[in-house]
C-alpha cells in the first residue's frame, strides 16, 4: 500500500495514473507499432484490369512513445522504396485517422494512375517507431506485411 494514495486509474490498459494527496504521478507504457490493415499474415490478391487506376491503403497503430515525433510508415515494391520509383505509382501523405493520449492510428495510401504489367510485384507496408536519439538503449520496433500481389486480367 502506498501512503497517501487516493486513486488509481487505467486508460486502455496502457496508461496508469496514481493520485496522491500531495501530487499526481503518471506512469505510461509504450507499445511497438502494429499494422492494422491489411490483416496480419494474410496476403491479399487483387484482380485488376490493365490501364485502370488502383489505390491501396495501409493502416497502422503507434502506441505512446513519450516523444512528439511523427510515426514512420512507408511502402516498398520488392526491395525498393516506392518513393524512389519513377512513374505512375505514388505514396500519399501520411494521414492521422485517430489520435488519443499520444497514441496514433495512421493511414498511408499507395496509388497507381494506371496499372501496367510491369507493376506485377509484391508490395509491402512498413510501420516503424522513430529512432530514439539521445538514449543509451536504441529501440526500434518494426512490423511489416506483404500486402499485395497483383494479377492482371486481359
Domain identity same for 14 and 46: no
**Global pTM value:** 0.60
Domain identity same for 59 and 18: no
Domain identity same for 19 and 42: no
Q: How much is the pLDDT for 130? A: 66
Q: In which domain, by residue range, is 24 found?
A: 1-29
- Using CA atoms, how far apart are residues 140 and 119, in angstroms rounded to an integer? 31
Residue 60 DSSP label: E
Decide if 130 contacts 64 (C-beta within 8 A): no
| Strand partners of residue 17 | 9, 26
- Using CA atoms, how far apart are residues 130 and 15, in angstroms rounded to an integer? 21
pLDDT in tens, 81-135: 988 887 888 999 988 888 888 788 889 998 989 888 888 777 888 887 765 332 2
Per-residue pLDDT at 77 exceeds 80: yes
Q: Give the CATH number of the domain where residue 83 resides.
A: 2.60.40.10
Of 70, 122, 76, 115, which is closest to residue 93 (Cα–Cα)?
A: 70
Domain identity same for 18 and 45: no
Give Cα separations from 14 to 22, 49, 55, 86 (angstroms).
Answer: 24, 45, 34, 42
Amino acid at each position: 500500500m502506498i501512503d497517501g494514495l487516493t486513486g488509481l486509474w487505467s486508460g486502455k490498459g496502457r496508461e496508469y495514473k496514481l493520485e496522491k494527496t500531495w501530487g499526481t504521478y503518471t506512469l505510461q507504457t509504450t507499445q511497438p507499432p502494429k499494422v492494422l490493415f491489411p490483416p496480419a499474415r494474410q496476403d491479399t490478391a487483387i484482380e485488376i484490369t490493365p490501364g485502370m487506376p488502383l489505390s491501396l491503403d495501409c493502416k497502422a497503430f503507434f502506441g505512446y512513445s513519450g516523444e512528439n515525433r511523427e510515426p514512420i510508415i512507408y511502402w516498398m515494391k520488392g526491395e525498393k522504396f516506392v518513393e524512389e520509383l519513377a512513374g505512375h505509382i505514388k505514396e500519399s501523405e501520411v494521414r492521422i485517422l485517430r489520435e488519443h493520449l499520444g497514441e496514433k492510428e495512421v493511414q498511408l495510401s499507395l496509388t497507381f494512375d494506371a496499372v501496367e504489367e510491369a507493376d506485377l510485384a509484391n508490395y509491402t507496408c512498413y510501420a516503424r517507431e522513430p529512432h530514439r536519439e539521445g538514449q543509451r538503449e536504441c529501440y526500434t520496433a518494426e512490423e511489416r506485411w506483404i500486402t499485395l500481389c497483383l494479377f492482371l486480367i486481359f
